[in-house]
Amino acid sequence: MKVCMILEGSYPYVQGGVSSWMHNYIKSFPDIEFILWCISDKSSKKGKFKYDIPSNVIEIHELSLSDSLKLQGKRGKVNLTKDEYIELKNFISGEEVEWNTLFNLFQNKNMNPISLLMSKPILNILIDICKENHDYIPFTDFFHTYRSMLLPVLYIFSSDIPEADIYHSTATGYSGICGSIAKWKYNKPYILTEHGIYTREREEELLRAKWVLANFRQMWINLFVTLSNCAYDYADKVTALFSRANKIQHELGCSLDKLSVIGNGVNFERFQDIKLKEADDYIDIAAIVRISKIKDIKTLIYGFAEIHAKYSKVRMHVLGPVEDEDYYEECLNLVKQLNLSNITFPGRVNIIEYLEKIDFTILTSISEGQPLAILEAFAARRPCIATDVGCCQELLYGDSNISSNEKVDNIGKAGIIVPPMSKDELAYAMQTLIESPELIKEMGIIASKRVDYFYRQEDSIKKYELLYKEVSDGWNRI
């Protein structure tokens, strides 16, 4: 069996939770041949992999969105059928789309994206949409903004599609469009697994982004909603990491009969034998994260500053690769401004070895799915302080919606949940654990039990194995 994994902005270019999951996932299926279809923002990332690619990866196809800027086209007459014109307008305006018409236009009729964007039909569509919905925006600004929004998508529409038996994307968005086109072109099943809710994450980024003018934010958000709708429509099965995410997927338009939960899992045996930290005068806290804005390292620093003022023998270790160099420099400058001597950034480390130095962990993200960093620390009996995002509350406090082998998750609290971006409540939670070594030990035992019962890697892999069999068998009966 050949499975094409469609990856956007993650493996194998960057390190992090989704990338680590993907790497271990591929290695867990030695009998499957994997094709990687990797989408990145910049062509300079091509071939620069952060992982040693497993031997059962037989092909790697790299698609850089920045390469769309190199496309050439001709200005001239572009002939569109009535249906093609209507569906292009529906797509651009965020209305319901008959995607088969657009896929056929670019895949079978070889429509050139640049020629289309320079054509009179597109100009007419944009004039109509601007008059109907955005007459307060200068048309030149509207026109060039929409061109920049559409070009990467049209580039994907016209790209070569690798052949496989199953297509499996780890997000909606651009990778969801790839999965949808592949299903349409080769008549093969398509599975969508969301580690986070893509449209919500893009919305959060766009609302904070300085490069997006206020008048155009909602247009960008609407584009990603439209792309996600396409993936939800074409996918045969849609999985999420936890039940609350399934509910959001349904609210965003995915049919209930497609939805299921397959949580993350970790190699429990690899972490359970890690020794607890030998008692000394210090309390050591670790944030196991990649350095990026979405992980909100600044709130972590501010919260630690309050603790550092009360307890001189507390150390913070921020472990993980740098994803955003500018943000990293801002964090280092903040550490200097606050005169914090006990916070370090060791970078990427051997987490198995480093956890022996750690009492408990912390996660201050403003958006998450089901963090592997928490599960791995739990398996090593390290409790966690985490923000109330994604699946964190269920991981720390238990989830009454899940059960396994007749065991219901009422094990207890394995940490402390705090609101996002609240340095005061974060500091108070740290103080609670710092002042109670016995609570750290008690929560650590609960954490380990939770992973052992509900989040083992082999159980997660078995569910995906059954899912592949289900979609393959169902497709073969058609």
Bridge partners of 371?
A: none
Predicted confidence at residue 362, as pLDDT, reads 98
Phi/psi region, residue 110 (left: phi>0; alpha: psi -120 to 50; beta: rest), is left
State the first-to-last Cα distance of the chain, in angstroms, to the nearest integer.
Answer: 18
Distance CA 257, CA 237 (A): 8
**Is the separation of the CB atoms in 53 and 81 below 8 Å?**
no
Predicted confidence at residue 40, as pLDDT, reads 96
Cα–Cα nearest to 174, from 270, 66, 257, 71: 66
Tell me which residue has tokens 């018409």.
Answer: 101
Residue 213 reports pLDDT greater than 90: no
Residue 73 reports pLDDT greater than 90: no
- 264 vs 25, 40, 153, 354, 456, CA distance in Å? 10, 24, 30, 22, 8
Bridge partners of 8?
A: 39
Could you give the percent of the chain with pLDDT greater than 90? 81
Mean per-residue pLDDT, 377-399: 94
Predicted confidence at residue 207, as pLDDT, reads 83
Cα–Cα nearest to 292, from 201, 365, 363: 365
Cα–Cα nearest to 56, from 41, 37, 70, 35: 35
Mean per-residue pLDDT, 247-252: 95
What is the token pair recorded at 3? 């499975």
Asked which of 32-36, 56-60, 133-137, 369-373 is least confident by mean pLDDT, the reply is: 133-137
Residue 169 reports pLDDT greater than 60: yes
Predicted confidence at residue 210, as pLDDT, reads 80
Distance CA 326, CA 397 (A): 35
Q: What is the mean pLDDT of the chain?
A: 93
The helix or strand, by DSSP H or E, that contains position 469, with its residue range, turns out to be helix 457-477
User: Distance between alpha carbon 216 and the CA centroid of its chain, in Å?
Assistant: 24
What is the DSSP pairing of strand 259-261 with strand 237-240? parallel
Residue 336 reports pLDDT greater than 90: yes
Mean per-residue pLDDT, 230-235: 97
pLDDT classification of 212: cutoffs 50, 70, 90? confident
Distance CA 238, CA 249 (A): 9
DSSP class of 291? B
pLDDT classification of 279: cutoffs 50, 70, 90? confident
Contacts of 425 (CB under 8 A, 6+ apart): 418, 419
Mean per-residue pLDDT, 376-387: 97
Contacts of 13 (CB under 8 A, 6+ apart): 38, 40, 45, 48, 49, 50
Predicted confidence at residue 476, as pLDDT, reads 67
Predicted confidence at residue 449, as pLDDT, reads 95
Q: Which domains does the chain have, with CATH numbers?
A: 2-70+160-261 (3.40.50.2000), 82-149 (no CATH), 268-455 (3.40.50.2000)
Distance CA 138, CA 121 (A): 20
